Amino acid sequence: MAELVAPPSFAMLLQRFFAEHLMQHRDVSPRTVAAYRDTFRLLLLFAERHIGKAPTAVSLADLDARLVLAFLDHLEKDRNNGARSRNARLGAIRSFLRYAAHYDLSALPVIEHTLSLPMKRFDRPLLGFLSRDEIQAILEAPDPDTWTGQRDRGLLTVLYNTGARVSEAIGLRIRDVMLDGSPCVHLHGKGRKQRSVPLWRSTAALIRSWRKRLGPVADESPLFPNRGGTAMTRSNVTQRLALYVKAAAKNHAQLLSRSISPHTIRHTTAMHLLQSGVDITVIALWLGHESPATTHMYIEADLSMKERALSRLQSPACQTPRYRPPDKLMQFLQNL
């Protein structure tokens, strides 16, 4: 009779999940690894307080639906996490449990029960975007005669031109921008996906002027560095944008009553492309969306498109005239 082999421990499975499954087999991005890591650090610290077991002593059977639900409630009530963060943590736990189910059949009932926990629904706020006059005022606010002003004007213009995420823009290197021939920029997006986006001639001119001011730098150097020569941070970009929103509000007072972040510029790019008649699948490629379904939210938010649709829809009280072919040839085609 074959000797039964004991299933691997939770600690061993978790280490293999990260080292083999995520990093080797799936080859996920470092950001995904970091997000999953933080989830399990929080979960194991919570489990230690909740069931009195050290992380190395936790078993798969301990990760039952009751414990995971208590952990999710802890995230919302004690750590003030929103529904999106809660769902992201649950997604990481689910991914691990689906992996672990292949190696510990004895824990399948517990795993199946925990996997049945639903994601939490949440209200999606109305999408915010800027008008063409508003974005133009913000882009013109930085002083191009100063080092930081010239850098910031180039950065904000690239954000609007490309619809890049702020992480993609501050991650740009000198080598990522092609200014000869048809100017374009190579963006490195989420999940290590890459895409190339064309640049307006005006954007290319701004970048050429900015690169002259930077002087000779290595191809690996940040395109938009801080004073120390390293890449700008998200908070740095947010602070600089706030200054220019305040300056632009001198002629557009309504800007002060709105919450405007670098991501608002990305939404603005998408909306202006949509309003210009660009197909939604092209916009999805432009923004680096994995599916056009993600881009559909811009259609839902565009009031002007809804108003144009309404103008084509008559009131039920109106009588729609019957179409009458103007001549015999048109009548022939109508009757086919």
Please identify every residue annotated as catalytic: 165, 190, 263, 266, 289, 298
Q: What is the DSSP letter of 281?
A: H
DSSP 115-152: HTPPPPP-PPPPPP---HHHHHHHHT-S-TTSHHHHHH
Question: Strands 194-198, 184-188: parallel, antiparallel or unpaired by DSSP?
Answer: antiparallel
Which residue do the tokens 């002259």 mark? 212
Residues 246 and 178: their CA atoms lie apart, in Å, by 33
323: its two tokens = 């179409």
DSSP 149-190: HHHHHHHHHHHHHH---HHHHHT-BGGGEE-SSS-EEEEE-G
Sheet with 184-188, edge to edge strand ranges: 177-178, 184-188, 194-198
